[in-house]
Amino acid sequence: MAATPIASPIAVAMYPTLSGITLAIGLIVTAFFFIYEATSSRKNRSLGMELSTAAAASLFLGFGSLFLLLASGVYV
Amino acid sequence: MAAKVSDEMAARIWIFVVAVALSLSLPSFASSQDLQIVNAERRIDLSSHIVKAFLTLKVENIGKNPAADMLLAFPPTQIKHLSMVQALAVTGKKKKKAYLPLDVKPSEQPDAPNDTGYFLVTFATPLTPGETVTLEVLYILTHSLEPFPMEIAQSEAQLVYYRDSAVILSPYRIKQQTTYFKTPSTRVESFTSVEPANRAGKEIKYGPYDDRAPYSYAPVIVHFENNSPFAVVEELVREIEISHWGSIQITENYRLTHGGARHKGVFSRVDYQSRRSISGSSSFNGLLAVLPPRVNSVYYRDDIGNISTSHLRTGYKKSELEFEPRYPLFGGWRATFIIGYRVPLEDYLFEAPDGRRYLNFTFGCPLVETIVNKLTIKVVLPEGSKDPSAVLPFTVNQDLQVKYSYLDIVGRTVVVLQKDNVVPTHNVPFQVYYTFKPIYMLAEPFMLVSAFFFVFVASLAYVHIDLNIVKK
């Protein structure tokens, strides 16, 4: 009777650390995005740069908020 | 002449052979007159409000056909309260005794006298004519101790009636039988006397009775004192929520009552606290719940809020939660509360060899020595689970529901298992199988990622859109 236990793909003890790191990176990239928006003029703006920064920021912020929910006990 | 005789003989021989072949090919097993019980010993334990009866039967096949099964009979009043019947076949002698579990099923017989209920016990190997087998049967009755007097004051002891028969009800002839009743204390008000019956301390012995016909019945009533806690959970809803991110959250909603003699008159707290041994001897104020070993985040609360009168002791094999309701429970009083706790996922979720996942959890109620009138277990499977199925060693009512929880789009499948009249002997493992593709776990973080991305795109659109009426 081969019954292998199934565990979470990421160790549960790592959730608080991971949430802190990913949220910090996500907030830094968000800062880059908004600084770029504020400092560039209509002519120098590049849509590709904006969208890629937005994508990276939302990726880190999304995973960071997931790990934050898991670390605080809301096992979604 | 010789030819004619031999023709007739040949015809006769042929008919005989065909008749024998037909009778051998038809399966023929013993009817109820072919078995008899050589020796029966019944021990009924009346120490707590859950009545446990242990029956040792030595069954002999006195017929000509092998017997594949036998019937256990119960009077109609007992069949309603019968919670569990188990049978074991005893093989070997003395030191080398082995117990083989047998299959027991409720059965309907067409010619049952006086609405007798039956259970069919299937032997491991059919009993050949002349052979005997020893069976040990355990059956558990709930709600069978009737409080009499039905209402008692705070300082009175609780006396109950137990109705049964001195002679074991059986569809077979019983050559010799004895019945023992074990009471929790030496206070026995009365017991019906069916010769020979006598009482010694905490044990009442009825028997030995010789050679009773099938379906013989001698009703007796034992009136004795039973101050054990009559803890009855009227309704228990257990929700087991599986999260593949690492934990299983269990929430249990209890509606607890005291199922003994109803309390009449006033409740004097002074009497209760000063003379605890006399006052409220049949009441209880503490309960014990046995929880899994690696349990964390245990909470105990009710509608008002958190209840702090509880003690949790975690251990390696099990954890024990000793908790007290807000007030002691006397006869007829109720308490409603919620107990919740969390266990790690790897203790209970496994992968089967065929690729399906299954939850291996314990059925029943964690409270010790408690009857549950109506138990509902809801296993909430994560979003994206398909083909749920439950495997249990006994019959339950199964159903499927949908529950919407955190970050859900289509909802989570819930397997609902419902059973009535549950006793602590039902605390055995059961499995719930389902299929799940691990890629579905990414649905939740990507929902959050897309929400944040939408915010960024909205700010981008705001920055890019030119709302000037006059072109600069």
Better-scored residue on pLDDT, B96 or B53: B53
Instruction: Reply yes or no on whether the pLDDT at B311 is more than 70.
Output: yes
Residue range B390-429, pLDDT digits in tens: 999 888 999 999 999 988 889 999 999 999 999 999 999 9
pLDDT of residue B422: 95
CA distances to A33, A54, A66, B265, B449 from A20, in Å: 20, 20, 11, 61, 16
- Across all residues in chain B, what is the average pLDDT? 89
Instruction: Reply yes or no on whether the pLDDT at B434 is more than 80.
Output: yes
Closest CA of chain A from B179, distance in Å? 43
Q: What is the ipTM of this complex?
A: 0.94
Euclidean distance between CA atoms B194 and B189, whole angstroms = 16
DSSP line for B77-109: HHHHHEEEEEEEEEES-GGG-EEEEEEEEEE--
Burial class (CB in 10 A: 0-12, 13-18, 19+), B60: buried
Nearest chain B alpha carbon to A10: B245
- Whether residues A55 and B350 touch (CB distance < 8 A) is answered with no
Question: Residues of B at the A interface (Cβ-Cβ below 8 Å)?
Answer: 241, 243-247, 249, 297, 344-347, 349-353, 357, 360, 405-407, 438, 441, 444-446, 448-453, 455-457, 459-460, 463
pLDDT of residue B323: 95
Q: What percent of chain B has pLDDT over 70?
A: 93
Per-residue confidence band for B33, with pLDDT thresholds at 50, 70 and 90: low
Is the separation of the CB atoms in B220 and B165 below 8 Å?
A: yes
Is the separation of the CB atoms in B423 and B49 below 8 Å?
A: no
- Whether residues A8 and B245 touch (CB distance < 8 A) is answered with yes
Is the separation of the CB atoms in B252 and B378 below 8 Å?
A: no
Residue range B87-107, pLDDT digits in tens: 988 887 777 777 878 878 888
Average the pLDDT over B35-62 and give the result. Answer: 93
pLDDT of residue B26: 46
Residue range B229-277, pLDDT digits in tens: 999 999 999 999 999 999 999 999 999 999 999 999 999 999 999 988 8
Beta strands in B81-230 (DSSP E): 82-91, 98-107, 117-127, 132-141, 145-147, 151-152, 159-165, 173-182, 188-191, 197-200, 203-212, 219-225
pLDDT of residue B56: 93
Average the pLDDT over B7-16 and give the result. Answer: 64
